[in-house]
Amino acid sequence: MLLFNPVSIKANLAKFQTLNDCRKFVRVETTGYSFTDPNGKRVAKYGIYWGKDDPRNGIRTLPDGSSNIAAMLTAILEAVNVAREEDPTPSLLIYSDLTSCETLLRDLSGWAKRDFYSRNHSTKLKNAEILHELFVAVQGLHLKIKHRATNTPEEPINRVTSAILETANKKIKEKTENQLDKETEGKNKYCRTDNPMDSVAKIEVKVGTTLDKSGNLAKEESQNWQKVYVAMRCRNNEGFVSAGFCTHWLDGSTARGKSFRYAPFPVTPFRAELAAIEEALKEAVDAELENVTVITSSAHFMSGWRRRWIRTSEDHAPFTGRVFYERICDLCSRLKQVHFRYEEEDSESELGKDCCGTPAVLIRILEEAIDRNEDAIIIRADSEKLIKSFEAHLEVFTVWRRNGWRNSQHKRIGKSAEWEKAWKLKQKVHVTWEIMDTIDDNDRQQNEKIPVYEKRKVL
């Protein structure tokens, strides 16, 4: 004999009906979040994800000072408004990371009765304007709002923004590939001066994000570790693309404080940044350091490092520069602990100014000449103004040194230690300046014939 429980049957039928109803809904996922930027301003953003490759997907920024709650509510409001543009308006199921979203529709009715004032009618509710617009927008719409967290302690990456970024990355990749096909016609190698993927990665990677050498969010403090900043510059001089990078150790002793190198060919900003990180880790290994923090302004690198260099797209294609990644991993294995921290670059900061400009460039040139055992060099430049600037500085070296590296007003000159170092190096090398013509194809062909210089090994 079979016995049926009527209550159980009704419950199962209700679940089936709910599941069947949900299948008729158009689903959309939303998220909202806020953070403090390097200038101390509060920035809020929200994202809406309708589905893979949907042109309605997007991440947008609210005015300065907005909160994460305002961002979450605005995301729901925009999803409703976009759905209303369709004819007929579909039934809508919105997933939101707002914890109180499942009672939001009921709460809106109660708040509207008191014109979105607090219970004692003394002040307006927070985000009252957004709540009022949302109340008006949902009228007559078949709508359900369910809570779904976009990130967890185990999965700190925002699931919604990651899905949106995958679509954006795909579009940029297609655009880049099309541009690459045009520019590489008849060429075997490709150089560029921009990195569009970095601007996309900045949406995902927040300033101050710190990753360990396994790609996980760093939990330990690294305040007492040696810190090294890395940076790169990439320029296009009438079709000739060149890039260089530098490392800057705050302690001033590791790798003589600063080092400057040219980026390997083919030249791209991302490859130059990877070369800078690799160089910093080499210097840490050579100095026999145990713990080091590498500070980079490449959000693209941070995104790739966190994902272990594999994109989360369907084809799981790796990031570019895989060879650099593997070498960086090898260097990390030779150090006890390594942290990578993301900070936005500020060329106007004291550190930024310290790594750029006349003394730094001059020191780099003279050190390279001394390493090659050259006692006289000819420096060619395509700017007469640049040459005159260098010559003027070289002429005042003697005056500055005689005055104790002070100017005519007896004040300490800027970057006096740098200029003093340049003067000492200048005593070992005779410098001659020449103005050169614009680079042409013949110059490039002749340049390729120059053998690669290998620095002598220190025994």
Q: 149 with 26, same domain?
A: yes
Scored b (16 or more CB within 10 A) or e, 297-326 reads bbbbbbbbbbbebebeeeeeeebbbeebbe
Looking at the structure, tell me whether residues 203 and 322 fall in a common domain: yes
pLDDT in tens, 336-349: 999 998 888 765 55
Considering the domain architecture, whether residues 261 and 378 belong to the same structural domain is answered as: no
- Single residue among 349, 382, 415 that ends a domain in this structure: 349
373 CB neighbour count, 10 Å cutoff: 7
CATH number at residue 45: 3.30.420.10
Closest CA to 367 of 422, 324, 414: 422
Residue 183 within any structural domain of the chain: no
Tell which of 117, 144, 160 closes a domain: 160
The amino acid present at 341, given as its one-letter code, is: R
The answer to whether position 134 is within a domain reads yes
Residue 393 lies in a domain: yes
Instruction: Quickly count: other Cβ atoms within 10 Å of residue 110's Cβ.
Output: 11
The pLDDT of residue 448 is 73
Domain co-membership, 53 together with 139: yes
185 pLDDT more than 50:
no
Can you give the three-state secondary structure of 344-409, one letter per residue?
Answer: CCCCCCHHHHHCCCHHHHHHHHHHHHHHCCCCEEEEEECCHHHHHHHHHHHHHHHHHHHCCCECCC
Which of 349, 371, 405 lies at the terminal end of a domain, its last residue? 349
Structurally, the chain folds into a number of domains equal to 3
Distance (Å, rounded) from C-alpha 101 to C-alpha 107? 9
pLDDT digit string, tens, across residues 427-443: 888 888 777 776 677 77
Tell me, yes or no, whether 149 and 196 share the same domain: no
Question: Do 434 and 317 belong to one domain?
Answer: no
Residues 6 or more apart in contact with residue 123 via CB below 8 angstroms: 117
| CB neighbour class for 440 (10 Å; exposed up to 12, middle 13-18, buried from 19) | exposed
Cα gap 412→54, rounded to integer Å? 60
What is the spatial distance between Cα 273 and Cα 375, in angstroms, rounded to a whole number?
Answer: 32
| 1 lies in some domain | no
Whole-angstrom Cα distance, residue 345 to residue 118?
A: 44
What does the block give as tokens for 183?
């520019």
Q: Is residue 382 part of a domain?
A: yes
Is 8 a domain residue? no
Which residue, chain included where needed, has tokens 């809570």?
147
User: Between 195 and 424, whose confidence is greater?
Assistant: 424
| Strand ranges of the sheet holding 240-249, from the earlier edge strand across to the other edge | 210-212, 337-342, 291-296, 226-237, 240-249, 258-262
Clarify whether residues 211 and 155 are in a common domain: no
* Residue 151 belongs to a domain: yes
Q: What is the pLDDT of residue 95?
A: 93
Rounded to the nearest 10 degrees, what angle do helices 159-183 and 196-204 cross at?
180
What is the distance between the terminal CA atoms of the chain, rounded to a whole angstrom? 92
Residues 6+ apart with CB under 8 A from 391: 433
Which phi and psi (to 5°) does residue 181 adopt? -60, -40
What value does the mean pLDDT take over residues 85-96? 88
Instruction: Give the separation between CA 259 and CA 357, rounded to whole angstroms.
Output: 14
- Determine, yes or no, domain membership for 177: no
Distance CA 158, CA 47 (A): 10
**Domain enclosing residue 365, as ranges:** 357-448
| Closest of 344, 309, 311 to residue 328, by C-alpha | 309
- CA-CA distance, 322 to 324, in Å (whole number)? 5
- Joined together, the tokens standing for residue 156 give 């700190």
Q: Which of 36-45, 268-277, 302-311, 325-334 is modeled with the greatest confidence? A: 325-334
Q: Do 120 and 269 lie in a common domain?
A: no
* Mean pLDDT in residue range 159-188: 62
Are 92 and 79 a contacting pair, CB within 8 Å? yes
pLDDT band at 89 (very low <50, low <70, confident <90, very high): confident
Whether 126 and 37 map to the same domain: the answer is yes
Nearest to 385 by CA among 433, 353, 443, 425: 433
Instruction: Tell me the residue length of the chain.
Output: 459
State pLDDT tens for residues 360-408: 677 778 888 888 888 888 877 666 666 666 666 666 566 666 677 676 6
Give the tens place of pLDDT for each residue, 270-326: 888 888 899 889 988 988 888 899 988 888 888 888 888 776 654 445 567 788 888
Tokens of residue 154, six digits: 């185990």
Can you say whether the dihedral through the CA atoms of 120, 123, 127, 128 is positive or negative? Answer: positive
Threshold 0.85, pTM exceeds = no
Judgement on whether residues 386 and 340 belong to the same structural domain of the protein: no
The helices-and-strands tally (H runs, E runs) of the chain is 14, 13
Pair 342, 363 in one domain? no
pLDDT digits (tens, 9 = 90+) for 2-18: 444 555 555 555 554 55
- Structure tokens that stand for 403 in this block: 């005055």
Q: Are residues 279 and 393 in the same domain?
A: no
> In the structure, what pLDDT confidence band is assigned to residue 77 with cuts at 50, 70 and 90?
very high
Cβ-based neighbour number of residue 345 at 10 Å: 14
